[in-house]
Chain A
Amino acid sequence: MDVLGRYRNLIVLVGVLFAQVLGLAVQVRRTTDSEPTRLIRIWAVGAVTPLEKVLVWVQTSTGGVWHNYFYLRGVRAENRNLKQQIERMSLEQVRMSQDADQARRLQALLAFKEQFISRTMAAQVIGSSGSELSRSVYIDKGESDGIKPDMAVITAEGIVGKVLRVYRSTSQVLLIDDQTSGVGAILDKTRLQGILRGTPAGEMVLEKVMSDEAVPAGEMVLTSGGDGIFPKGLLVGRVTKVAPGNELFLNIRVRPAADLSKLEEVLVVTRIDERQAQPDQAGAARAVDILAERLPTVPSKPENAVKADTPGAVAPSNTSSDAKPKAVSPEASAGGGAPAARKTASSPSSSSGSASGTSLGTSAGTSSGNAATATGTPAMKVSPKPVKAAETPKPQPAVEDSPH
């Protein structure tokens, strides 16, 4: 008894440490992803996150009042710049929608399946783990909002991470730069695939790329879709440094596109759809037709110009010749090079579909762009024959196609 009293503190210390080591061993033995959330985590998150939510709400409310009502300096100039940017992007959009149309037709020919983000949910980042070694954040959406584990979390700049644990009204998101995370990635130009992992220092490394490959610094890294969490084609980051690594692989450092240290709002991908191109579309569009669209075409003469060729007729050549360049110019300036005739024939449906597709694509990656362009399917059935379209040479629809 005397010995027990003398070493009481030490005995308690050993007991507490032993209990915790035992608990650790049990947790390590189990796979952390499949086990249900521990009660102690629920309590801790329940104690901390309500206050975080309140603080974030107060911060965003006061910040909103300040930025929306008082601090409006430079808004006019910014508005002007944004309008100019919209104009530039609109022209680019026309070209991209044509490329997307063509890609979709080719995919249809190959019975290609494509993934796209069909539903997202905006969430506010309310807290972090508070540890340098656990790179995770908490968002203000949880089970009651339909969030589930392993959902992808993204921003407009790039991917952020995946949902790890879901609580009633909050969720824990594991960031892509954590050492326990892994993302299937592909290099944009060289098309080399690898696994993107975080390091203990909070950097990201693209692994499993053979050392005999040439990877230039600055190349974009995209999701490959191989991990089953992130859809293919989302921006991850850029290569910053390439060095010989261990064994046969390169050590490729990647800087994340999204600023993971200053996250405020994120999008949780709550639904990813996989769609295969319709077989009838594939039948309607032959490869030779698709290639023919790319070839330069001779614009057919409008009716009144034809009449002008006939002897004795008064040709209103000015109007017709004026109309023709107007129809062609938006596409030509956008660099698409596709004939205006096809554009006029397929304008109403395809333009709406592709326009929304491109705008989505800029925010949520190329996959969403594919999704939206898929809605413009009726345009597929229009045979891209210049002669047929030239029967109705209306210059306006081509202008209307540009999504102003």
Chain B
Amino acid sequence: MAITYTSGEQVEVYRFSIPATTLIPLTAVFLQAWLPLRFPFFTIFDLPLLVTIGFATARRSPLAGLLTGSVIGILQDALTHHPIGLYGISKTVVGFGASSLGIKLDVEHAGARFLLTIVFYAVHEVVYFMISRGLVGLRMAWTWPHELLSGVANALLGVLVFMLLDRVKQRT
């Protein structure tokens, strides 16, 4: 398992072109809305979250990470019927955390990415759970088996998504 602590000089910082920055999150949100109609099990995945983590860890800039997370989250919120901000806040936190961690850790390997995705999936769910219960008053059911299964499934898909993102990221 290759999670190694690295100094700021050792890690590489990447950037994404404007079309990739715009289209990839949009595509993720679109697929998240469209695929569950054809494959109902797809609702356990959170593609926008995976893209948020992918962008954040590649850019390694907390500012860029939190802004990307908030924009993707708000976009995702806009398609639901819940108040806007539930996904926005959760993904802002995840974007900030992933990029902050990306500075300190080498997350280029599949194993590291797998673990990182599980951790940030859990963070995302906890923040979402707390906000939706505490601020919005939604009834939420926290079921450990479901959350664990979703975490692993998202982590597996995350490894694939990060590999796709590797193809479009550019070295600064």
Contacts and interface: CB of A to CB of B under 8 A. Distances in A.
Nearest to B150: A132
A136 B80 contact: yes
Contact residues on B (Cβ < 8 Å of other chain), bracket: 35 or more
Interface in B125-145: 131-132, 135-141, 143
A9 B86 CA distance: 21
A243 B85 CA distance: 37
Interface residues of A, number: 51
Nearest to A197: B139
B88 A200 contact: no
A167 B78 CA distance: 13
Contacts of A131: 43, 76, 79-80, 82, 87
Nearest to A30: B83
B43 A21 contact: no
Nearest to B69: A16
Nearest to B128: A133
B80 A16 contact: no
Contacts of A165: 81
A265 B80 CA distance: 20
B171 to A, nearest CB: 23
Nearest to B26: A47
B62 interface: yes
A172 B81 contact: yes
Contacts of B93: 13, 17
B84 A41 contact: yes
B79 A44 contact: yes
Given A28-B137, A52-B34, A261-B40, A133 B82 contact: yes
A24 B66 contact: no
Contact of A20 (B30, B67, B70, B100): B70
B79 A130 contact: yes
Q: Per DSSP, are chain B's interface residues mostly helix, strand or loop, or mixed?
A: helix
A388 to B, nearest CB: 59
B40 A262 contact: yes
Interface stretch (A121-129, A249-257, A372-380): A121-129
B78 A27 contact: no
Interface in B1-60: 26, 29-30, 32-34, 36-37, 40, 43-44
B115 interface: no
A27 B74 CA distance: 14
Given A13-B62, A44-B79, A27 B141 contact: no
A55 interface: yes
B96 interface: yes
A179 B138 contact: yes
B96 A200 contact: no
Interface string B99-131: 010000000000000000000000000000001
Nearest to A264: B37
Interface of A: 8-9, 12-13, 16-17, 20-21, 23-25, 27-28, 32, 38, 40-41, 43-45, 47-48, 51-52, 55, 125-134, 136-138, 164-165, 172, 174, 178-180, 199-201, 261-263
Q: Which 9 residue pairs are nearest across A and B when measured between Cβ atoms? A: A44-B78, A134-B80, A130-B32, A27-B83, A261-B40, A24-B85, A130-B33, A9-B62, A200-B141
Interface of B: 26, 29-30, 32-34, 36-37, 40, 43-44, 62-63, 66-67, 70, 74-76, 78-89, 92-93, 96, 100, 131-132, 135-141, 143
